[in-house]
Amino acid sequence: MAKEVRLPQLGQTMEEGTIVGLTVKLDDEVKKGDVIFEVETDKATLEFESPTEGFVKRILVEVGQTLPVGEPILVLGDKDEEVAQSFIDSLKGQAGVAPVAAAPAATEAPAETAAAVTEPAGAATKVKVSPRAKKLAKDLGVDLATVTGTGPAGKITEQDVKEAAAKPSEEFIAAEDARLGATIRLNKPQKITAQKMLQSKREIPCYYLNVRADVTTLVELRAKMNETGEVKVSYNDFIIRAVATGVEKFPIMSGQLAGDAIKLADAINVGLAVSAPKGLIVPVVKDANKKDVKQIAAETQALIEKARNEKLQLSDLEGACITVSNLGGFGVGSFIPIVIPGQCSILGIGRITDTCVPDNSNIAVRKLISLTLSVDHKVANGAYAGQFLDFVRKQLEDTATFV
């Protein structure tokens, strides 16, 4: 019996995914649990395991296609089974409307009834296009997904296709090959980051608090811990621990506005902004308030390694109630970070600087670090967030809290 495999919803915010790899080909035998394709979502690139077994009878997508959740990916069947075209047509007619779950099982084949299709086979999104315009686009090699329709209800006309074909093709280059005058195409993580940051600026009324912490003894403690410890501890690990302890004492910092109430997080999970090959990504240290610095260090190292090798799972990226972003390694003294939608605040960390400070009647050289907290004013007022930030500062200055 033929069974289709559809693009599942691999996260609460996922609406579409881009196929970045197919690990099977026609007539391959697939067993339940075998990886059959890789999909890039709004959070990460993930491997998808087959929910059933069979032989690959049809592959309905190509690498690079962006598909809505519920779109059919491929069809599995018995070894010698012939899959009728009417069955394939019926799948396309139902694209994007099938019930989906985090790990859906393939459904049995529906009745073989042909359905009208208003888009090219395997298209990523629904496109309203006249039959003549569709044929012309195929002849001219025009991607209908890039054409804006000017006909009734946005339908693409022949003239739209002709104008699209007449436009000079734009050359896109990779970010690492950037040069003046060139155009760089955004990848999916970059697009999502842009959308989220724009949403943040529109919907989150932020204010900003800044303090400097004296981390002279913290620098000494880190050096001592790393002399003998198997796991090397970074400054971020101390900061994550201090932030998590601060949220535990000031729980409103984990909240989100929900109607006429503030809903607090169920757990204190702290995000850490990481530079990955395809852009900024924020893996999450779960239950950070329940872990010591060495445990946090081991977890952050594993997360960073997975991020840089594009091996993060959705569970590594979900659930943060606050984020830490550290640009000190790039020589940045201080900066104002943007709150991630779904969180109350984000803490920006600058570089550690040797600074002359008064010490009784003398001048002492101390190591200071800048902490800038961006806060959603809908959730926490300035006095409350100020107490939270002062508590975090004191945690970093009192190294006894980390021993």
Structure tokens at 395: 């945690």
Q: Would you place residue 12 in the very low, low, confident or very high pLDDT band (cuts 50, 70, 90)?
A: low
Q: What are phi and psi of 279, to 5 degrees?
A: 130, -170
Q: What is the CATH T-level fold of the domain 204-402, as seen in this structure? A: Chloramphenicol Acetyltransferase (3.30.559)
Torsion angle defined by CA atoms of residues 131, 133, 135 and 138, in that order, rounded to the nearest 10 degrees: -140
Q: Residue ranges of the domains in the chain?
A: 3-108, 131-184, 204-402
Task: Summarize pLDDT for 145-170 with one digit per residue, the tens.
Answer: 778 888 776 778 888 888 888 776 66
Rounded Cα distance between 213 and 246, Å, is: 15
Stronger pLDDT, 362 or 133, i.e. the higher one? 362
Q: Which CATH class is domain 3-108?
A: mainly beta
* Model-wide pTM > 0.75: no
Residue 373: phi and psi, rounded to 5, are -105, 120
Q: 131-184: CATH homologous superfamily? A: E3-binding domain (4.10.320.10)
- Residues in Cβ contact with 95 at an 8 Å cutoff, skipping those fewer than 6 apart: 68, 70, 71, 72
Share of the chain above pLDDT 90, in %: 45
What token pair was written down for 18? 């881009």
Angle at which helices 158-166 and 131-140 pack, to 10 degrees?
A: 20
Q: Which residues contact 227 (CB under 8 A, 6 or more apart)?
A: none
* Residue range 60-66: mean pLDDT, rounded: 83
The b-or-e profile of 196-221 (16+ CB within 10 A means b, else e) is beeebeeebebeebeebbbbbebeeb
222-250 residue pLDDT tens: 999 999 878 999 999 999 999 999 999 99
Q: What is the largest CA-CA distance in the chain?
A: 91
Q: Mean of the pLDDT values across residues 8-20? A: 78
H helices of 204-343, in order, are 216-228, 235-249, 293-308
- Taking only the tens place, the pLDDT of each residue in 78-137 is 888 887 788 877 776 555 443 333 333 333 333 332 222 233 333 334 557 777 888 888
Q: Tell me how far CA of residue 226 lies from CA of 46, 231, 233, 351, 400, in angstroms.
A: 34, 7, 6, 20, 17
Four-residue CA torsion sign, 277, 331, 241, 339: negative
